[in-house]
Amino acid sequence: MNWKENNLIRRVIMAFLCNYIISFGISFLYAADFGTDPFTCMNLGVSSHLPISLGTYQLLINIVLFAIIFVFDRRSFGIGAIINMVLLGYMIEFNVFWTDKLGINAENFADKMVLRIILLSVAVLIAACGCGIYMSCDLGAAPWDRLGQVFEMKSNGKIKYRYVRMVYDCTAIAIGYFTGATVGVATFFFGFFAGPLISFFGEHVGKKVVG
């Protein structure tokens, strides 16, 4: 097995582990009960006005976004994107299940505001770290995550990912709000801080870990 094969296997393993880390962070977000991330917020709002389920709508919007991004960046299609689009949902369900069994859930923390804020902060940091490293694996990424990277790449670095991410996350929040979705503290937290944090972890941790 040559160096390139070793490096590919390492990046695939890292992409899988990082998606699990993201799901772990999201399970804490559920326990904090401060709302959802901007993308989910938007999808919940829009799908509530359509004769289809949230899962079906989210799959369709991912396919549309993926097709648009693929035109500009064919590297978007890869094992990393497949891992995220196919497995992340199941990973989240698994982690929400066992954290609930351990008593880390919204019901137990309903009257513990300080702990909920701590959980929210930890959730965002964990999810952003996992996402930043996962995107550094360069094996393709989920359309919503890849969108900002394509803007940065096509502008030759003039348009930074962190700022693009903030713009489209905040746009998603606005769409979610006006279509009737619940907008919570976590929704705004992700909207304003996810982009910069993902960019930070990708640049300062992802490049060192992935190589």
CA atoms of 151 and 23, how far apart (whole Å): 26
Residue 16: per-residue pLDDT: 92
Would you say 109 and 32 are in contact if contact means Cβ atoms under 8 Å apart? yes
- Per DSSP, which regions of the chain are E strands? none
Closest C-alpha among 111, 115, 161, 112 to residue 135: 161
Q: How high is the mean pLDDT of the chain?
A: 84
CA atoms of 106 and 186, how far apart (whole Å): 14
Structure-derived torsion over alpha carbons of residues 34, 37, 39, 40, reported in degrees to the nearest 10: -50
The model's pTM is 0.76
CA atoms of 210 and 137, how far apart (whole Å): 6
Is pLDDT of 3 > 50? no
User: Is residue 51 exposed (0-12), middle (13-18) or buried (19+ Cβ within 10 Å)?
Assistant: exposed
CA atoms of 116 and 33, how far apart (whole Å): 8
The tens digit of pLDDT for each residue in 106-130 reads 888 888 889 898 988 898 889 889 9
Long-range contacts of 98-106 (CB under 8 A, 24+ apart): 99/27, 99/28, 99/30, 99/31, 100/31, 104/27, 104/28, 104/31, 105/30, 105/31, 106/30, 106/31, 106/32, 106/33
Amino acid letter, residue 203: E
Residue 75: per-residue pLDDT: 67
Closest C-alpha among 95, 69, 93, 94 to residue 81: 69
Query: How is residue 149 written in tokens?
Result: 């990277």
The tens digit of pLDDT for each residue in 14-56 reads 889 998 998 888 888 888 888 888 888 898 889 889 998 877 7
Q: How far is CA 30 from CA 34, 47, 105, 176, 208, in A?
A: 8, 20, 7, 18, 30
